[in-house]
Structure 1
Amino acid sequence: MIDAHVHVWRIGANGCTWPTAELTAIHRDFDLDDYRAIARGIDGVILVQSQENAIDTDWLLDLAAQDAFVAGVVGWCDLHASNAAERITELSARPKLRGLRPMVQDRAADWYDDPALDAAFAVMTTAGLVLEALVRPQHLPALARLAQRHPDLRIVVDHAGKPDLGALGAWSEALRTLAAFPKTWCKLSGLLNEVVAGQEDARIAEIVAAVQAAFGPDRILWGSDWPVLHLAASHAEWLAKARDLVPVVQHRAVFRETAAFVYGLAA
């Protein structure tokens, strides 16, 4: 089983400025040994950046080079920087870099429409890197337009696009529009942090059903979003819930094969 969304950090080191102190449940160092202590049945992880800092990405890649448990890294790069193409090329030479994640969730809805980004997206496509999309529902239309402009760029939507529980219809429609582009995938991760306590089962089931209807059985992958997950549940609780919601016949794809395909890993 591959956990396609795991974070590690050291508070105050490697460019780490988040989580802040008020998030007491996760305001401490988390490393791969901490993850191994709580995860069961996982034989590989994708480490995903948590800081908008090149030092964080370099540190994750150094960890990955030393630990076979890390199957790949999704790092960060300032795609607006004048040297973005050079930095992407440099990072792509690191064997376990699999993608890049600009942190768009709090940026303008049309962020992906900026033509100044197209050169970076082109270099990512040539390098075979995944664009990891940390977005909210308002960003999905621009992400679809990006998929149209760069049809060979692989795009993975994190946390199912952080659906707005008050507007699931609009989110679902935008997700279906994006899913019409064949090189887009959706990650079942971070969902428990998006729902109201006490409504988890019904709302998560509704969200997962919409993702399944949009992307089908072969373009969905699972991630824990550990340790951010601790704000809502344990790793075991989220894994069990996800396994219940995904039909058994799809387990191998959702919990291993799709991640292996998208990130170019050995299945």
Structure 2
Amino acid sequence: MIDAHQHFWQIGQHGCSWPTPDLTSVYRDFGLEDLLPLAQLAGVTGSVLVQSQESDADTDYLLAVAEQSGFIKAVVGWVDLAAESAPVRIARLAQQPKLRGLRPMLQCLPDDDWILRPELEPALAAMKQHHLSLDALVYTRHLPHIALFAKRHPELSIVIDHAAKPAVIATDCPAEDWRNAISSIAKLPNVYCKISGLPTEAGKDQGLEELASYIQHLLMVFGAERLMWGSDWPVIKLAPNKQLSIYKNWLNLVHHALAGCKTSEIESVFIGTSLRFYRIA
């Protein structure tokens, strides 16, 4: 199995400004030595290491860690896509054998349609030239803009992180705005989705029954061939339901939610899609 979404950070180093001290469960260093025992116990054999800071230094740090580990199969880094220097930076990063994609932190930006700005075009052209994908860290309100972006750039592979962070805590059933937006964007063949991040959007009393409805809707609209599972570790430790803040428990919940699927579909969600999307040999 491949964990398609996990993070490392070192507090106060490599441009690390998050998590903040108030987030006590994750306000410490997290590295490979912390993840490996959890992943191996769960039967996970590799991961995609994703940036968590808007920092070139963070991306350089992640690539250095990945270079020393066979467990890390791919890295999704960060580049200031609006900077004039972005194409040169992207070309240099693309020489790193494990860099597979970039992730602008769209959820943090004041303009929901930032990704559509014309000044990003040189960086996007460089991404396509070097066969890099884009991770979209967004909320439901961003999805119409991501859909327009995906139509403008059909040759760019895009994955929606954390299923666009639906407000699970607000209702036990998927809200209509999320269902409609995610169903609409799923019609675009270059858009994929990660089954990740849902535990941190749920309430302390929500579990399999509530989250399964989201997972099953994603399966219906994307199909298993465009879905991939990710732990979002160690951010998952912030989940209000403490049982779901445990790495293996979240993995088991997704397995249960997919219990009625064909073996080939389950294999796609847990390994096949991430191998194809991130071009992991």
Task: Show the counterpart of 1:90.
Answer: 92
Paired residue type of 1:24? T
Please state how far the C-alpha of 1:106 moved relative to its aligned partner: 2.5
Task: Provide the secondary structure at the position in 2 that maps to 1:105.
Answer: helix
Q: Which residue of 2 aligns with 1:229?
A: 236
> Is the CA contact (8 Å cut-off) linking 1:125 and 1:154 kept in structure 2?
no
Cα shift readout 1:161-211 (whole Å, capped 9, x = no counterpart): 001345721112111221111111000011000011112223211211221
Mapping for residues 1-267 of structure 1, pairs under 5 Å: 1-39=1-39, 40=41, 41-107=43-109, 108-165=111-168, 166=170, 168-232=175-239, 233-246=245-258, 247=261, 249=263, 250-266=265-281
Could you tell me how far apart the structure 1 residues matched to 2:186 and 2:118 are?
A: 22
Q: C-alpha separation between the residues in 1 aligned to 2:114 and 2:218? A: 23
TM-score, structure 2 as length reference: 0.92
Farther-moved stretch of structure 1 (121-130 vs 106-115): 106-115
Contact persistence 2:224–2:266 (CA under 8 A): no
Residue 126 (structure 1) shift: 1.7
> Per-residue deviation at 1:127?
1.0
- The answer to whether the 8 A contact 1:75-1:99 is kept is yes
Secondary structure, counterpart of 1:187 in structure 2? strand
Check conservation: 1:188, 1:220, Cα contact below 8 A: yes
Q: Distance in 1 between matches of 2:71 and 2:38?
A: 14
**Matched residues, percent identical?**
44
Q: Residues 211-267 of structure 1: CA distance to partner in whole angstroms, max 9, x if unpaired?
A: 11220121000000000111121001100001111235222100001000000012x
User: Which amino acid in structure 1 is aligned with residue 15 of structure 2?
Assistant: G
TM-score, length basis structure 1? 0.97
Equivalent residues, number:
266
- Specify the SS of the correspondent of 1:218: helix
CA distance in 2, matches of 1:253, 1:201: 21
Amino acid at match of 2:271: R
CA distance in 2, matches of 1:141, 1:260: 27
Residue by residue over 1:136-184, the C-alpha shift from the partner in whole angstroms, topping out at 9 and shown as x without a partner, is: 0111001000110000000011000001345721112111221111111
Structure 2 portions without partners, runs of 5+: 240-244
Distance 2:2 2:256 in 1: 17
Moved more, 112-121 or 163-172: 163-172
